[in-house]
């Protein structure tokens, strides 16, 4: 019995100190924010901001933080990895989880990162209840400099490695109305997120239908080193013959290691566009070589032709210059037959080209947008939009049945209104 009481007292003496130690060892927590460098921060440069979650306990859970908007900069998380470490605070070992964030200043001057709201739970030990914490980091300020030589308002990125590739398709050759021209630009930069690489400037001109494509954005991280890659494409579909000068594009970046502003230029492109062979009809007789003595007889031929023209005018009335009404009808029929065939075969490129040839039979090569406005037909406008999209996206899924139906209906109206005559434009179908 004595042994039983002694044993009970001994065990109780062991348990009470342990319980008291647990109560005194209440879990504590804190947060911290810092940057890895505060000297020589440039616009467009990635600055690593460290967000530290700290606890005197042994475990974290339910970690969450909301990144604020930073005026004049982007603050994003480019990597999901964390860094675990310990820190001695007041002679006590604390657990630390570090979240690296990426800050990209857009302009020079004083930059201020607002407080970041943080919440997490921590436990003092295995089997102990978790305690929830909520904090706000302190305001963080830093100074940003503009690279020498950068003009106000110019976009610039700061990186030690920048690669630029571009591709024009087709590379060269004669271009006609209905053809498409594509520029593809690929950029890769170290320590820059691809979403921060600026979009391409888009050149627009009357007679060129312009279709900027959605960019391909890829960020690759290798042991903490970030490489951003952005691929942009612009497609121009030629609607009218003429000369177009697509200007070059200049890219510039600042190399902080070499302290040098660098640039690379994509050369522009000059387009001399000819009417489509389907638009021109027969070969131009003006290209034939001059016969001997032809220059001498030319004035007499011109005078004779003038007399014949006057005679025909008074005898038969005014006629369409260059083509008789019968020839015009024949041209309209043949070009629409080609257009019908392209629609039935679901060929968007051939359909687009055939439409220009068919419209040219009305004396003037209209653009598709001008044709749609003149017709004032909702279905035609919708189907032409689908055709334009098919030219630059997914031609294999395009169907020309609905467009052909709309064109046949409108063509019937045109013929009913006797539009095939010597006019320089299409009259509105719904006046």
Task: Tell me what pLDDT residue 413 has.
Answer: 80
Tell me the CA end-to-end span of the chain in Å, nearest whole number: 117
Q: Supply the DSSP string of 230-274, one letter for each residue.
A: EEEEEEEEE-S-EEEEEPPEEEEEEETTTTEEEEEEE--EEEEEE
d(CA 61, CA 347): 58
d(CA 93, CA 88): 5
Instruction: Give the number of other CB atoms < 10 A from CB of residue 172.
Output: 7
**Contact between residue 230 and residue 199 where contact means Cβ atoms under 8 Å apart:** no
pLDDT digits (tens, 9 = 90+) for 250-281: 999 999 989 999 999 999 888 888 887 655 54
d(CA 219, CA 228): 5
Task: Tell me what pLDDT residue 362 has.
Answer: 64
Does the pTM surpass 0.75? The reply is no
For 231, the enclosing helix (H) or strand (E) is strand 225-238
Least confidently predicted of 15-24, 55-64, 117-126, 295-304: 15-24
- Give, in order, the Cα–Cα distances in Å from 143 to each of 259, 385, 412: 18, 49, 70
Task: Tell me what pLDDT residue 349 has.
Answer: 77
Whether the per-residue pLDDT at 288 is higher than 90: the answer is no
For 416, the enclosing helix (H) or strand (E) is helix 401-416
Longest dimension (CA), the chain: 149
Q: Which of 236, 235, 239 is nearest to 176 (CA)?
A: 239
Question: Phi and psi of 28, rounded to 5°?
Answer: -125, 160
pLDDT digits (tens, 9 = 90+) for 144-159: 999 998 887 777 889 9
For residue 283, what pLDDT band results from cuts at 50, 70 and 90? very low
d(CA 156, CA 198): 9
Reading phi first (left if > 0) and then psi (alpha if -120 to 50, else beta), residue 160 is in alpha
Locate 412 and state its tokens: 């019937």
Reading phi first (left if > 0) and then psi (alpha if -120 to 50, else beta), residue 9 is in alpha
**Contact between residue 62 and residue 121 where contact means Cβ atoms under 8 Å apart:** yes
| Rounded to 5°, angle at Cα 340 from 175 and 322 | 60
pLDDT digits (tens, 9 = 90+) for 20-59: 233 345 889 999 999 876 567 899 888 999 999 999 988 8
d(CA 271, CA 177): 11
Locate 27 and state its tokens: 């879990």
Which residue has better confidence, 132 or 362?
A: 132
d(CA 195, CA 216): 10
Rounded to the nearest 10 degrees, the angle between the axes of helix 325-344 and helix 401-416 is 160
Whose structure tokens read 């510039």? 252
| Average pLDDT of the chain, as a whole number | 77
Whose structure tokens read 């110019």? 154
Q: Which domains does the chain have, with CATH numbers?
A: 26-144 (2.60.40), 159-277 (2.60.40), 310-431 (no CATH)
């Amino acid at each position: 019995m004595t042994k039983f009481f002694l044993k009970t007292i001994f065990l109780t003496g062991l348990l009470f100190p342990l319980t008291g130690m647990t109560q005194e060892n209440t879990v504590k927590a804190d947060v911290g924010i810092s940057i890895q460098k505060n000297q020589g921060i440039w616009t467009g440069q990635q600055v690593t901001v460290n967000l530290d979650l700290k606890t005197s306990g042994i475990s974290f859970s339910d970690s969450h933080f909301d990144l604020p908007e930073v005026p004049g900069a982007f603050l994003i998380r480019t990597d999901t990895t964390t860094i675990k470490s310990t820190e001695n605070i007041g002679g006590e070992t604390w657990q630390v989880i570090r979240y690296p964030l990426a800050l990209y200043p857009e302009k020079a001057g004083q930059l201020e990162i607002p407080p970041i709201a943080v919440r997490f739970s921590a436990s003092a030990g295995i089997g102990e209840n978790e305690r929830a914490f909520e904090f706000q980091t302190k305001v963080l300020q830093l100074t940003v400099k503009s690279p020498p030589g950068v003009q106000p308002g110019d976009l610039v990125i700061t990186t030690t490695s920048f690669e630029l590739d571009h591709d024009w398709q087709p590379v060269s050759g004669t271009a006609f109305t209905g053809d498409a021209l594509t520029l593809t630009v690929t950029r890769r930069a170290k320590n820059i997120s691809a979403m921060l690489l600026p979009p391409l400037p888009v050149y627009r001109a009357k007679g060129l239908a312009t279709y900027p494509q959605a960019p391909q954005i890829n960020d690759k991280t290798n042991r903490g080193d970030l490489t951003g890659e952005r691929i942009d494409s612009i497609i121009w579909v030629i609607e009218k013959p003429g000369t177009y000068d697509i200007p070059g594009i200049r890219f510039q970046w600042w190399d902080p290691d070499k302290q040098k502003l660098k640039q690379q230029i994509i050369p522009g492109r000059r387009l001399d566009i000819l009417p489509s062979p389907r638009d021109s009809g027969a070969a131009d007789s003006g290209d034939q070589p001059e016969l001997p003595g032809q220059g001498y007889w030319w004035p007499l031929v011109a005078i004779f032709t003038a007399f014949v023209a006057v005679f025909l005018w008074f005898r038969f009335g005014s006629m369409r210059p260059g083509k008789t009404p019968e020839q015009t009808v024949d041209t309209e029929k043949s070009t629409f037959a080609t257009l019908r065939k392209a629609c039935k075969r679901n060929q968007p490129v051939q359909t687009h080209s055939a439409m220009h040839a068919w419209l040219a039979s009305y004396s003037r090569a209209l653009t598709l947008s001008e044709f749609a406005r003149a017709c004032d037909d909702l279905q035609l406008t919708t189907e032409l939009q689908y055709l334009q999209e098919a030219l630059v996206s997914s031609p294999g899924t395009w169907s020309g049945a609905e467009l052909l139906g709309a064109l046949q209906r409108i063509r019937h109206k045109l013929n009913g209104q006797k539009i095939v005559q010597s006019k320089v434009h299409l009259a509105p179908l719904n006046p």
